[in-house]
Structure 1
Amino acid sequence: MLELLGDAVLQAATDPAVKVVRLGGAGRGFCSGAGLSPEDQEAKKFDAAAVLNAANRAVAALVNLPKPAVAVVHGVAAGVGVSLALGCDIVLASEKSSFLLAFTKIGLMPDGGASALVAASIGRARAMRMALLAEKLPAAEALAAGLVSSVHAADEFDVEVDRVLTALKSGPAVALRKTKQAINDATLTELNNTFARETAGQIQLLNAADFREGVASFQQRRLPAYSDV
């Protein structure tokens, strides 16, 4: 899925018919992150580096897209879903949405560029709290912190999404492109280094005892007993 998303964004980048990219979830939420049920874990016989690189590629494609990208967030944006949303230029959230970096709950660290993207959006202190304590930010708190661009009631959400998309489609393409690039160059200078740092750290953590204990405790609905130091 992440590979396909990256491909689609890269294709949109060179398609003159595409003026703006809208990114949203097809189900009840924006992106729920990785599944931790026994069935999910059994099905997930994957190459961790390949998955992490696919996530990085998709997020980088959104950030580097020479056109505006709008995240339309309803429900939960968790894990790499936070990175995908923040990789967009405008994040529109419904009042029932929430944002969660739950990685440390299972002995992992944020990935997909989240370390840089979240800190650039809400500052170091708030990013540390969100990531280290794995605290969920409801929509109103996400707006107050600066994580999202705006929050809207359910009955007004689609109207606002259409308004923003229409404004961007009819806007001055070159000016929008240069503005996006200037802001990203000023705030995300460490993004590529962050991708590399997170990928190396996450691969190490995925092979550690604390990750296995974190997943087991989640599945067994008990408190984890971490042992790595």
Structure 2
Amino acid sequence: MIQPVIVTYAGRVATVELNRPESMNAMNGDMLSEMVCKLKELNSDDSIDIVILKGNGKAFSSGGDIKWMLNGTGDFKNVMDCINELVTTLYCMPKLTISAIHGAAAGLGLSIALATDYTIAKEGSKLAMNFIGIGLIPDGGAHFFLERRLGEVRAKELIWEGKVMSPAEALEKNLINEIAEDLDLSVEKKVQEWLSKPVQAMIKTKKILAERNRPLLLKILELEKYGQDKMRTTEDHKEGITAFVEKRKPNFTGK
């Protein structure tokens, strides 16, 4: 059986690799629950100081697995609870975290990247908060992360547009920290820079800020959970999903 998440170790560094390359690492229930499990294991591993999040194959992650959701194989409440636990664990974990983006980082995939401390995107990659295209709202804490990075007005604008962004556009909006010509080389450079510093002091700063912000993140995750449930019953969502499957432009009516 193929493992949906693979963890490898190199000294004080662990790499968490999303491993559903055939679906551009679209996240289904198995991948989400496995990510929570692996991140919690790393949480309590005192030998690890830095965690790298990356995707196998052609993309970082294309977001939630729409085909899996259409099959109705997952309980919505449990899936959203799993997403919320994943994001909270990643944002608050006592490690320094890096997202290494190549190919696509869309929807939930981008939300999870935003939960890390430092994000590097390879030239030519594509980033999108594109829930609006299927009549949904962002989840995975996106409202929290986008508002903090862009401010309320710009966050709403980005969410409502749902446009695909180049790394240069994402960097200009403060969604990523760095653009890389060679992703592996840039990630390694950042890792070595951090390893040469007093990492425990850096982690303590992270923990102080994360604990301060944690109540708001948890509140927004709950609001996203109930908001998403409501949106799933709308005619626009059904039309958005149908149009996605039929590979055509949706005809939204505001219902």
Q: Give me the TM-score of the superposition, normalised by structure 1.
A: 0.90
Q: Which residue of 2 aligns with 1:16?
A: 46
The answer to whether the Cα contact below 8 Å between 1:103 and 1:134 also exists between their aligned partners in 2 is yes
What residue number does 1:68 align with?
A: 96
Equivalent position amino acid for 1:23 in 2: L
Give the C-alpha shift of residue 224 in structure 1.
2.6
Aligned-pair CA distance for 1:97: 1.6
Q: Which has the higher strand share?
A: 2
Matched, 1:50 2:81: no
Match in the other structure for 2:16: none
Specify the code of the residue in structure 2 equivalent to 1:193: K
Shift of 1:67: 1.2
How far residue 32 of structure 1 moved from its aligned partner, in angstroms, is: 0.3
Paired letter, 1:20:
I
After superposition, what is the alpha-carbon deviation per residue over 1:99-134, rounded to whole angstroms, capped at 9, x for unaligned? Answer: 111111111100010011122122223221221111
Choose which of 158, 176, 180 in structure 2 pairs with 1:152.
180
Q: What residue is the counterpart of 2:220 in the other structure?
A: 194
Partner of 1:80: 108
Matching residue of 1:33: 63
Aligned to 1:212: 238
Gap regions ≥5 residues in structure 2: 1-30
CA-atom RMSD in angstroms: 1.9
- Counterpart selection for 2:195 from 169, 172, 176: 169
Counterpart residue type for residue 85 of structure 2: R
2-structure distance, mates of 1:45, 1:67: 33
Q: Is the 8 A contact 1:80 1:112 kept in 2?
A: yes
Contact 1:24 1:71 in 2 (8 A): yes
Please say if residues 120 and 188 of structure 1, whose CA atoms lie closer than 8 Å, have aligned partners that are also in contact. Answer: no
Contiguous gaps of at least 5 residues in structure 1: none
CA distance in 2, matches of 1:114, 1:158: 26
Q: Would the alpha carbon gap of residues 188 and 42 (structure 1) be closer, same or farther in structure 2, given more than 3 Å must change?
A: closer
Distance in 1, Cα, partners of 2:214 & 2:189: 27
Larger RCO: Structure 1 or Structure 2 (Cα < 8 Å, ≥ 6 residues apart)? 1
Task: Give the share of equivalent positions with the same residue, in percent.
Answer: 29
Amino acid at match of 2:148: A
Once residues 88 and 128 of structure 1 are traced to their aligned partners in structure 2, the CA distance between those partners, rounded to angstroms, is 21
Give 1:180's match in structure 2, choosing from 184, 206, 221: 206
Distance in 2 (CA, whole Å) between partners of 1:224 and 1:159 is: 41
Corresponding residue for 1:108? Answer: 136
Equivalent residue, structure 1, for 2:250: 224
- Gap change, CA 1:137 and 1:126, over 3 Å in 2: farther
Q: 2:140, 2:102 → 1: CA distance?
A: 20
- Distance in 2 of aligned mates of 1:179 and 1:87: 16
CA distance in 2, matches of 1:53, 1:10: 15
Superposed displacement of residue 185, structure 1: 5.2
Distance 1:133 1:197 in 2: 21
Task: Give me the whole-angstrom Cα distance separating, in 1, the residues matched to 2:70 and 2:162.
Answer: 25
State the Cα distance separating 1:186 from its structure 2 match.
6.1
Greater fraction of residues in helix: 1
